[in-house]
Amino acid sequence: MNQNIRPYKKQLPKIADTAYIDPAAVVIGDVVIGADSSVWPMVAIRGDANSIRIGERTNIQDGSVLHVTHAGPLSPDGFALHIGSDVTVGHKVVLHACTVEDLCLVGMGSVVLDGAVVSSGCILGAGSVVSPGKVLEGGYLYLGAPARKIRELNQKEIDFLSYSAKHYVSLKNDYIHCDE
C-alpha cells in the first residue's frame, strides 16, 4: 500500500486517476479528490472524524492542513470539508470543516474555520482568518483577521482565478511525466 494515501476505519481515499498527490503529502480516510486536482508536498488531508470532498482542477499547495469536525455535543452533525473545482489553495493554509466553492483563491497562510463558506469567485488575501460560520459573498476580495469585505474583484483578478487553476493542472502534468 502507498503509505502516504491510507485508510481510516477501512475507508480509503478515492483519488481520480488524473489527480496528482505528491509523495510527501498525506491523505487519510474519507476523502474524494477529483480529476486533474493536485496536492503538493507537506499537505495533510485528514478525513477521519468527517468527510472531505475536493472537486476538479483544484490545487492544494505546500504545507496546507485540511481537517474536519466530528459529530458531538457541541455540533450534532459535525462539519465536513467541501472544496469545489478550480480552487487555488495557497501555501500553508488551514481549511477546517468549512466550504470553499468553485473558482476561489485562498491566500497563503489563511485560516478558514468551521462552518464558514467562501462563496464562488472570491479571493481571500494572504494571512486572512475567516471566523466560524461566516459566509463570504462571491466575487469579492476579503482581507484580514477577521476577514472583512474590501471590494469587488476586477476583471484581471477574475481571469486570474481560472488561469491559476489551469496553470496548476499543467504543473502537475509535468510532475506526473517528469520521469519519462
Ligand X SMILES: CC(C)(COP(=O)(O)OP(=O)(O)OC[C@H]1O[C@@H](n2cnc3c(N)ncnc32)[C@H](O)[C@@H]1OP(=O)(O)O)[C@@H](O)C(=O)NCCC(=O)NCCS
Residue numbers at the binding site for ligand X (CB under 6 A): 88, 90, 105, 107-108, 123, 125-127, 143-144
Nearest approach, Cβ of 91 to ligand X (angstroms)?
Answer: 6
Nearest approach, Cβ of 89 to ligand X (angstroms)?
Answer: 8
Beta carbon nearer to ligand X, 50 or 120 = 120
Beta carbon nearer to ligand X, 27 or 105 = 105
* Chain residue at closest Cβ approach to ligand X: 90
Rounded CA separation 107/124 (Å): 5
Q: What cell numbers appear for 138 in the block?
A: 462571491
Beta carbon nearer to ligand X, 50 or 58 = 58
Rounded CA separation 97/111 (Å): 11
Q: Quick one: the chain helix, strand, coil %, rounded to 5?
A: 15, 40, 50
Q: Which residues does 37 contact at the CB level (< 8 Å), separation at least 6?
A: 16, 19, 20, 54, 55, 56, 57, 58, 59, 60
Rounded CA separation 31/111 (Å): 20
Nearest approach, Cβ of 39 to ligand X (angstroms)?
Answer: 15
Beta carbon nearer to ligand X, 87 or 116 = 87
Nearest approach, Cβ of 84 to ligand X (angstroms)?
Answer: 16
